Amino acid sequence: MRDDGRVDSDDDAEAILDRAARHIDRHELADARRLLTPLIGRPAELAPVSHCRLLIDWGWLCAADQRYAEARAFFAQAAAEAESLSLPHLVVEALREAGIAARLEGRRAEADQLLARSAELAELAGLWVDARTHRSFSVWLTTARNPRPNSPPRSPTRSRSRRPAAP
């Protein structure tokens, strides 16, 4: 990253996104926010896949700060962009995160719909999404729906354990 906050290449952006994800995994939200803030205002500098990842991570940070309306908007934008790019793993992740945020906000019916849609898309795309990675939300029952629950993952989504504590 240059001194003005711009990224020199998509490799730089990916490295920043990976570092931010590690901070999020450790619940070091201020550090993740510091890394992602320069990128959020510059979508044209990012490859489309990187931009989708950024939207999901930024939405997650908004949800962690209980700014649910903003989180909803970022997750919806990420899902729409990922769908237009035919990136099912990112559509699944955006819908899953939106469902978790909706659950935290108390919008249970919407959360159930988003999580069910995410699970359905994961199954259709042949992605393995294990319910155990979402231990705070028993509504996420993809493992029970998978016809081969004891088989190894076929194509895991980018799963992280960076969920806010359940209310």
Domain boundaries, the chain: 10-145
56: phi then psi, degrees, rounded to nearest 5 = -65, -45
Give, rounded to a whole angstrom, the gap between the first and last alpha carbons of the chain: 37
Percent of the chain exceeding pLDDT 70 equals 69
pLDDT of residue 87: 93
More confident: 52 or 154: 52
Among 138, 120, 86, which residue's Cα sits nearest to residue 129? 120
The answer to whether the predicted template modeling score (pTM) of the entire model surpasses 0.85 is: no
Q: Which residue has the tokens 């901070």?
A: 23
Q: Rounded CA gap, 53 and 80, in Å?
A: 12
For domain 10-145, give the fold.
Answer: 1.25.40
Confidence class for position 68, pLDDT limits 50, 70, 90: very high
Residue 70, token pair as written in the block: 């903003």
Confidence of residue 151 (pLDDT cuts 50, 70, 90): very low
The Cα 112–Cα 137 span in angstroms is 10
Task: Answer yes or no: are the C-beta atoms of 69 and 137 closer than 8 Å.
Answer: no
